[in-house]
Amino acid sequence: MESIYQSDTKRAFLTFDDGPSTITPKILDILKQENVKVTFFVLGTNINGRQDIVKRMYEEGHYIANHGYTHSYSKIYLSPQSVLDEYNQCNDAVKNAIGVSEYNSHLFRFPGGFPGGKYADLKKEAKQLLSQNDVLNIDWNALTGDAETNQLSIEFELSRLSETIGDKNSVVILMHDSSTKSVTVEALPQIIANLRERGYEFKNFYEIIK
């Protein structure tokens, strides 16, 4: 996974965390129109009642990855085992939603990101345990800043994107499809156009992980 940030050609992985929510179908509509496949790091608790959205993600060729079950740091970061348990709980919810009993995304994103913070040591141990269970983890190396302020605007997201991409060739871009991120929906067509203008080709993790 470390090599994900290295590439000779320009490529962009759009990733959405914390969904599905009421705004996710709008994101799926835009992605369909633009013919872009992305990666969703879904949250187990948010799948309940929104199985149809997860099924749609899957059927439309997006990668369904795993962001745990509760997103509650005090629950998921109790122990390395509780991280793996939440991975499995979320994976079970995905399996039920898409109706594929053998589905395993093999890809996890730690709530709050992997490095540093109060739970840094526990996350390191959890990473080992996940990897023993064939689960990789990935963070991001660029973002639209849609979790940085409550005063979001399209201009803000585009400018944070440009700043964080810099001169990188291979970018994994963090965004969110939780219900409060309607500005991200509004910004998405411009985000896609901007990346295309800069020569980035869109990828999702099905091309990396079998």
Known catalytic residues? 17, 176
- Quote the tokens at residue 50: 């929104």
Scanning residues 110 to 139, which ones bind Zn ion (CB under 5 A)? 111
Neighbours of 187 (CB within 10 A): 23
Residue 134 beta carbon to Zn ion: minimum distance, rounded to whole angstroms: 22
Residue that the structure tokens 């990473």 belong to:
127
86 binds Zn ion (CB under 5 A): no
C-alpha torsion 146→148→150→152, nearest 10: -40
Residue 143 beta carbon to Zn ion: minimum distance, rounded to whole angstroms: 12
Cβ pair 41, 14 in contact under 8 A: no
**Bridge partner list, 202:** 12
Q: Given candidates 4, 17, 83, 97, which one binds Zn ion under the rule CB under 5 A?
A: 17
Helices (H), the chain: 24-34, 44-47, 51-59, 73-76, 80-98, 120-132, 154-165, 182-197
For Zn ion, which residue has the nearest CB? 17
Scanning residues 20 to 39, which ones bind Zn ion (CB under 5 A)? none
- Quote the tokens at residue 205: 């993790």
Residue 113 beta carbon to Zn ion: minimum distance, rounded to whole angstroms: 9
The one segment of 13-21, 126-134, 137-145, 190-198 that binds Zn ion by CB under 5 A:
13-21
Nearest to Zn ion of 99, 115 (CB atom): 115
Size of the site for Zn ion (CB under 5 A): 3
Q: Given candidates 11, 16, 18, 24, which one binds Zn ion under the rule CB under 5 A?
A: 18
Residue 178 beta carbon to Zn ion: minimum distance, rounded to whole angstroms: 8
- Quote the tokens at residue 202: 């869109």
Where on the chain is the footprint of Zn ion (CB under 5 A)?
A: 17-18, 111
